[in-house]
Structure formats: C-alpha cells, structure tokens
Amino acid sequence: MQPDGILKDGHFYGFWCGDKLPNVYLHENTPDSKVNISELAAGKKVIIVGVPGAFTPCCSKDYVPDFISDCGKYKSKGVDEIVCISVNDPYVMAAWGKDLNAGGKVRMLADGNGAFTKALGLEKDFTDTLGTSSSRCKRFSMYAEDGVVKKLFVEPDGHSVTCSKSENLLSQL
Amino acid sequence: MPVKSGDKLPSVDLYENSPASKVNIAELTAGKKVIIFGVPGAFTPGCSKTHLPGYVSDFDKFKSKGVDEIVCVSVNDPFVMAAWGKEHSADGKVRMLADTNGAFTKAMDLEKDLTGPLGSIRCQRFSMLVEDGVVKTANVEPDGTGLTCSLSNSLLSQL
C-alpha cells in the first residue's frame, strides 16, 4: 500500500499506509509529561496532524483551527482522539494550543527533538526560516486504527495546505 | 570565553516577527545604550513568570536611566518569539528578537545544552548593558537557568 496524497514526482516517503505507528515518546505541556504515541493509539481511532511550526501563520490561521472546529464531525465518525504534533518544545506547544482554544478537542504533543518526525520519515529542512538543530515536520494528516496507519496525506512541498487539510481527511473517513 | 565586560557585540542577524525581518544586533546597538537579556526558552515557566515580565514592567525605569532599547533574545523562531512577546504585552517596551539558529548565542559563547527538556541547544540566561556596541556589564546565571543576577532589578541597580 502507498500513502495517499504523495507526490507527483514519484517520490515515496518511508512511512506507508499499513505501517504501525512508531513506538516514540512525545511530551504534553511539560518535559516531564511523556506520552507514548503507539500506546495512545492502541485500540483507538486516532487522527494525527503534523505541522512545520507552532505559531507559524499557515499552521495557526486555518490549518489546525479547522481540525479543532471539525472535532465534532470526527467524533461522529467514531474518532477517539485528535493529536497535533510539531518539532517544538512542550511549553511552546501548550501555549499554542491555548492560543487556538484547542483544549478538549486537539491534544498538542511536542516532538521536541524530532524523534517521531524522523521515525515517520517526514523531516524537512526549514533551518533558514525556523532554525533549530533538528529538522521540522512536513505538514501531514493521518488516520490510524489500533496503531496502524489507514490514511496518510503528506503535503508534496511539505508546507502548503492541500491534501492534508481537515476537510479532505474527513471526506476519506 | 563567555561574553564579558569590554567585549564588542558580534555582528549577527536576529529576526523580528518573521524570518524575512532581519535585525543586526551590532547595528541596533551602535551609538545607543541598550539592554539585552537572553532566556533559555520562550513560554518556559521561569522566563515567562519572572524574567520577561520584570523587564517589561521596569521599562520606564530603564528609560529614565538613559536606556534607548531593551531587547530579549532566545533560540526560538521569530513566530514563537512574537507570540510570546504579545502574550506579555511587550510591544513598545521589549523587542523580541529570535536567535533562530543560535548564531548569536554561539558567538557570545553562552550555549547551554537543553536538548533533554527543550529539544535543542539554547541560550544561558543572562542580562547585559551595551553602550555603542560594547558590553559594559554582563550578568550570566551561574547555572545558566536560575533567576538571580540576570533579573531586571539586579541590572537596574548596576546602572
């Protein structure tokens, strides 16, 4: 099986539909609060959304807010949780979630050192604009059941908002 | 050697609000009296509850002592820095400048490995008074993160 929404130039990412989510820890609110993503997803229907950066215009204006406002629609399709990840520290992610009123709708999980992003094969170099010693995450959205990826949409250029937007993922469920 | 009194500030670009908006720190401080303070991370508890708010609320006191500008620096991207400044009503008081790739922090030899909690090399907490691009006073926290000598009231008393 191939990931959906991947690219025109024939390049495939390392992570394909049918793969199990990697066994990686993310952090929620503080560096002490670990969340294992494969444990979170076990036995559940989960949406995971990845973005290049907290507080960046594109991610903040429409992208994540759409998943927040579509929370009710996802729930009616049986989704148990919606998670947003980014290569930012947990304090930044928590502040961003508060700014977007994500509480109770989308869990903001920090991929602080990019381990989850790397395990998914979705790293992108945004060093010029966003810095950090590790690469950031390409914009993507996925649907997983019991820890297995069923739908995966990765933006071809890594940052635009096309195939990975909430409206598109919802229509696929 | 970490930055100290008598050093000239390095000519490094920082970023304000967006990656497109460059601010050269040496140019910013030329001919002026500037306070620069550095923090390990935007939105982290110590930086948010005490360090930044102190400088925001002491803005007028610094102005009355002839300070032209107050600048806050952190190894974060400019979008995060701008959002953090907005949360603390820093506008017009403290300029939030992003040391996006840590170049300024490295040039001043103030790096601290906070990869565990924050995911990357960050800046030690410090404060300094700079006059015409030359460091007059530099206060670097002994452990890099504490809230002692680099606080606003401490620097004010040195002016």
Instruction: State ipTM.
Output: 0.95
Structure tokens at A67: 């998943």
In chain B, what is the straight-line distance between the N-terminal and C-terminal CA atoms, in Å? 24
Residue B126: CB atoms within 10 Å:
22
* Surface of A (72-91) touching B: CB under 8 A: 87-89, 91
Please give the average per-residue pLDDT across B139-145, as a whole number: 93
Rounded percentage of chain B residues whose pLDDT exceeds 70: 100
Average pLDDT estimate for B125-152:
95
d(CA A54, CA A37): 19
Lowest mean pLDDT among A107-111, B48-52, B123-127: B48-52
A5, part of any domain: no
Q: Is residue A50 part of a domain?
A: yes
A143 within some domain:
yes
Q: Note the pLDDT of residue A9.
A: 43
The tally of domains found in chain A comes to 1
Find the DSSP H helices in chain B: 25-29, 45-46, 52-57, 59-64, 78-87, 103-107, 115-118, 152-158
Percent of chain B surpassing pLDDT 90: 97
In order of A140, A156, B131, the CA distances from A124 in angstroms are 12, 11, 40
> In this structure, how many other beta carbons lie within 10 angstroms of the beta carbon of residue B116?
9
Q: How far is Cα A138 from Cα A52, in angstroms, rounded to an integer? A: 6
List the domain range (segments joined by +) for residue A54: 19-171
For residue A123, the surrounding DSSP H or E stretch is strand A123-124
Write down how long chain A is.
Answer: 173
pLDDT computed for residue A1 by the predictor:
42
H or E segment at B23? Answer: strand B22-24
> Is A55 part of any domain?
yes
CA–CA min distance A34, chain B (Å): 11
Per residue of chain A (173 residues), give pLDDT as tens: 445 554 444 444 556 778 899 999 999 999 999 999 999 999 999 999 999 999 999 889 989 999 999 999 999 999 999 999 999 999 999 999 999 999 999 999 999 999 999 999 899 998 877 865 558 999 999 999 999 999 999 998 899 999 999 999 999 99
Specify whether A84 is catalytic: no
Give the pLDDT of residue B1: 85
Residue A51 within any structural domain of the chain: yes
Closest Cα in chain A to B20:
A129
Q: What is the pLDDT of residue B85?
A: 98
Residue A167 phi, psi dihedral angles, 5° rounding: -55, -40
Task: Tell me, yes or no, whether A139 lies in a domain.
Answer: yes
State residue A132's pLDDT score. 57
End-to-end CA distance of chain A: 17
Looking at the domain assignment, is residue A47 inside a domain? Answer: yes
Residue A1 is assigned to a structural domain of this protein: no
CATH code assigned at A88: 3.40.30.10
From A58, A59, A71, A163, active-site residue: A59
Task: Name every chain A residue with its beta carbon within 8 A of the beta carbon of B121.
Answer: 133
